[in-house]
């Protein structure tokens, strides 16, 4: 049975509607995980460190697509809730073509200035050549990458989350197969990992673009449009929290790499890489649920259906809490086999990774609340509060504590800083949710 945004959502219906988005985000996050597995085991730990240096840069670029996707889909879903499908299509078209134009500009700049960029991101002389090779190829694919991140939200607004899931699975399969072909069979090394990832981006970004151009597209399709400056500015403002969250997480990742390089050297960066790969997947589950539920919130907010808005909010919070507890148990139980999959070839690196991850994994008790709260306020078109939550959690707290706690706790302070930052971020998020409950009637 097809689920519509206008439906009443039980737990089962809410999980069915958001599950494709969860899987879609998890599969997308597996790009870097698969690259890491092949690179670490077939190329070496130095190449793994190089991938971890470049990845935050790529995430910053992709964040602009995510911004226009989440911020724009809230406007599109609200407009659909108001009953104006023609205008919703024109807004959608404007946002997508802006993603294409911005992606082209960012791609060109990154390819030209890759060497100083990776130097700034913490690349040592030992890692520089691999960072430049991987970064130039990966960032050359910015347009399809940004399209894929934006379509993750627009597929849900178009009431087609399953289509988004299919494209993500196809993109993920393309990446995995080509990683094996390019690295294991053709021995292209770190360049092969980047080429495989870009090929996956093309499947997940360019093929859906062609689909939305078709006149047979249902709820949303690309149509002739004009420049809606106010709506574009509102989409950017509304999605600024997601932009801030992704950029902040990437900048903080760079800060962690710099600190780890100073305290532990390349081995510390490699250990952190493993934690980040697991973190990509676990956080993707929270992001996927938040992205999947956001158009429901926007639709009922636009329709002034306060009772259903309240229903979706309460059920979503219950799901987030249960998932958070399950993730901590799962990550603590699997930390050794997960570390072994990446760095099992080195005992010292393995022990460093496992001991750090046992502390790091406690952050999953708290981060889901902040991720959902930020997305929830984006869906309510309150970009300011959403951005504040993201900025405090992902930049100010994490970025500040990674320099403070190592002074007090030594090397362990790097891992503890993540847990403390997420706990404080959850407190701030709950405070905003409580303070604004009457204003939005949830």
Query: What's the pLDDT tens digit per position in 94-131?
Result: 999 999 999 999 999 999 999 999 988 878 788 888 89
Mean pLDDT of 277-302: 86
Mean pLDDT of 32-43: 76
217 backbone dihedrals φ, ψ, rounded to 5°: -60, 140
| Residue 33 or residue 317, greater confidence | 317
| Residue 152 belongs to some domain of the structure | yes
CA distances (Å), 83 to each of 69, 113, 296, in order?
Answer: 21, 46, 15
| Residue 5 belongs to some domain of the structure | no
Q: How many angstroms separate the CA atoms of 55 and 32, rounded? A: 8
% of the chain exceeding 70 in pLDDT: 97
| Residue 313 belongs to some domain of the structure | yes
Q: How many angstroms separate the CA atoms of 375 and 115, rounded? A: 34
Counting runs of H as helices and runs of E as strands, what totals does the chain give? 18, 0
pLDDT in the model for residue 1: 54
Q: How many angstroms separate the CA atoms of 35 and 32, rounded? A: 5
Give the number of other Cβ atoms within 10 Å of residue 115's Cβ: 15
pLDDT at 49 over 60: yes
Q: How many angstroms separate the CA atoms of 367 and 374, rounded? A: 11
% of the chain exceeding 90 in pLDDT: 29
pLDDT at 304 over 90: no
Mean pLDDT of 58-62: 86
| Residue 1 belongs to some domain of the structure | no
pLDDT in the model for residue 31: 66
| Residue 37 belongs to some domain of the structure | yes
| Residue 273 belongs to some domain of the structure | yes
Q: What is the pLDDT of residues 223-261, one digit of tens each?
A: 888 898 888 988 887 777 667 667 777 777 777 777 777
| Residue 4 belongs to some domain of the structure | no
pLDDT at 32 over 70: no
Q: How many angstroms separate the CA atoms of 201 and 198, rounded? A: 5
pLDDT at 411 over 90: no
Our count of domains for the chain comes to 1
| Residue 6 belongs to some domain of the structure | no
pLDDT at 368 over 80: yes
Through-space distance between the first and last CA atoms of the chain, rounded to whole angstroms: 27
pLDDT at 272 over 90: no
Treating both helix axes as pointing N-terminal to C-terminal, what angle do 142-157 and 189-213 enclose, rounded to 10 degrees?
A: 40
What's the mean pLDDT when you consider all of the chain? 85
**Whole domain around residue 92: which residue ranges?**
11-440
Closest CA to 188 of 139, 129, 134: 134
* CB contact at 8 A, 367 and 385: no
* CB contact at 8 A, 45 and 126: no
* CB contact at 8 A, 144 and 204: yes
pLDDT at 84 over 80: yes
- List the single range of 91-100, 155-164, 332-341, 379-388 with lowest mean pLDDT: 155-164
Q: How many angstroms separate the CA atoms of 283 and 425, rounded? A: 15
**Residue 219 DSSP label:** S
Closest CA to 291 of 256, 246, 322, 348: 246
- List the single range of 3-7, 180-184, 203-207, 318-322 with lowest mean pLDDT: 3-7
Mean pLDDT of 268-294: 82
Angle at 46 between CA 45 and CA 47, to 5 degrees: 90
pLDDT band at 346 (very low <50, low <70, confident <90, very high): low
pLDDT at 215 over 70: yes
Mean pLDDT of 259-284: 77
pLDDT band at 143 (very low <50, low <70, confident <90, very high): very high
* CB contact at 8 A, 23 and 288: yes
């Amino acid at each position: 049975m097809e689920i519509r945004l206008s439906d009443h959502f039980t737990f089962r219906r809410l999980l069915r509607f958001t599950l494709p988005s969860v899987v879609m985000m998890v599969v997308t996050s597996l790009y870097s995980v698969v690259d890491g597995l092949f690179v670490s085991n077939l190329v070496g730990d130095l190449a793994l460190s190089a991938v971890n240096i470049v990845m935050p840069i790529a995430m910053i670029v992709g964040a602009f697509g995510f911004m226009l996707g989440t911020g724009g889909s809230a406007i599109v879903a609200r407009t659909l809730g108001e009953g104006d499908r023609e205008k919703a299509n024109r807004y959608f078209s404007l946002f997508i073509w802006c993603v294409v134009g911005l992606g082209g500009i960012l791609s060109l700049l990154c390819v030209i200035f890759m060497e100083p960029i990776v130097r700034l991101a913490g690349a040592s002389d030992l890692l520089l050549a691999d960072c430049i090779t991987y970064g130039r190829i990966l960032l050359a694919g910015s347009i399809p990458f940004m399209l894929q991140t934006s379509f993750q939200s627009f597929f849900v607004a178009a009431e087609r989350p399953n289509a988004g899931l299919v494209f993500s699975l196809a993109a993920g399969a393309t990446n995995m197969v080509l990683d094996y072909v390019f690295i294991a069979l053709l021995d292209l090394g770190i360049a092969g990992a980047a080429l495989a990832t870009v090929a996956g981006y093309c499947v997940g970004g360019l093929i859906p673009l062609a689909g939305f151009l078709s006149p047979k597209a249902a709820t949303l399709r690309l149509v002739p449009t004009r420049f809606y400056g106010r709506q574009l500015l509102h989409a950017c403002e509304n999605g600024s929290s997601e932009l801030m969250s992704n950029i902040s997480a990437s900048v903080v990742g760079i800060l962690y790499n710099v600190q780890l390089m100073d305290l532990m050297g390349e081995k510390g960066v490699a250990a952190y890489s493993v934690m980040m790969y697991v973190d990509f997947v676990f956080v993707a589950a929270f992001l996927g649920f938040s992205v999947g539920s956001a158009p429901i919130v926007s639709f009922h907010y636009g329709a002034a259906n306060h009772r259903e808005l309240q229903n979706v909010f309460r059920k979503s919070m219950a799901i987030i809490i249960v998932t958070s507890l399950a993730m901590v148990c799962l990550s603590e139980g699997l930390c050794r086999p997960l570390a072994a999959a990446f760095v099992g070839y080195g005992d010292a690196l393995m022990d460093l990774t496992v001991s750090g991850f046992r502390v790091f994994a406690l952050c999953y008790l708290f981060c889901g609340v902040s991720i959902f709260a930020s997305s929830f306020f984006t869906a309510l078109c309150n970009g300011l509060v959403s951005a504040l939550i993201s900025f405090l959690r992902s930049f100010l707290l994490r970025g500040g504590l990674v320099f403070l706690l190592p002074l007090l706790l030594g090397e362990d302070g790097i891992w503890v800083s993540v847990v403390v930052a997420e706990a404080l971020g959850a407190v701030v998020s709950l405070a905003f949710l409580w303070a604004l409950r009457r204003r939005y009637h949830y």
